[in-house]
């Protein structure tokens, strides 16, 4: 009795396994699982952290007042900020804002500490280059200018 019961159980689990495999196989063909990247991409989750970028006001200007709080808070020393108070303006603004993304741990300390909410995480997930040096000096001021030009 035990012998036939084992054969039955084995055959049953084989059929169940085959059915699951076939189901997954057909779903792949229907495109339920595969995303034909780069032609299509999945929505990036709200909480995803790409490298930091500047936020901006309605006029497209950065909210950064060059206070250097982010530079001091960064545990990896990967932020370099310089700023000045331009003529006719009440606050300082950044004249240089460089991020060394090669050492950034995406900890978020810079975003949290910023008193003006001038920083946020980008949704960039597919950066690629043959040279690491490109990401050692990401110019956030230039990046904001480029984004505003594309709008």
List of residues contacting ligand SF4 (CB under 6 A):
52, 64-70, 73-76, 78-79, 81, 94, 99, 104-110, 113-114, 116, 118-119
Distances (CA, A) of 148 to 67, 76, 87: 23, 29, 23
Nearer to ligand SF4, 81 or 144 (CB): 81
- Closest separation in Å from C-beta 95 to ligand SF4: 11
Q: Which is nearer to ligand SF4, 6 or 84 (CB)?
A: 84
Are the CB atoms for 64 and 97 separated by under 8 Å? yes
Q: Which of 70, 128, 127 is nearest to 97 (CA)?
A: 70
Please, what is the minimum distance in Å from the beta carbon of residue 63 to ligand SF4? 7
């Amino acid at each position: 009795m035990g012998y036939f019961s084992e054969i039955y159980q084995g055959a049953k689990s084989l059929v169940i396994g085959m059915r699951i495999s076939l189901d997954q196989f057909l779903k792949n063909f229907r495109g339920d699982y595969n995303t034909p990247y780069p032609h299509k991409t999945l929505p990036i989750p709200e909480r995803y952290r790409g490298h930091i970028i500047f936020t901006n006001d309605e006029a497209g200007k950065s909210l950064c007042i060059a206070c250097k709080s982010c530079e001091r808070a960064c545990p990896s020393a990967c932020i370099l900020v310089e700023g000045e108070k331009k003529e006719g303006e009440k606050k300082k603004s950044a004249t240089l804002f460089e991020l060394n993304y090669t050492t950034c741990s995406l900890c978020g300390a810079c975003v949290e500490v910023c008193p003006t909410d001038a920083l946020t995480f980008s949704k960039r997930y597919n950066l690629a280059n043959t040279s690491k040096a490109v990401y050692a000096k990401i110019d956030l001021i230039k990046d904001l200018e480029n984004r505003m030009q594309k709008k």
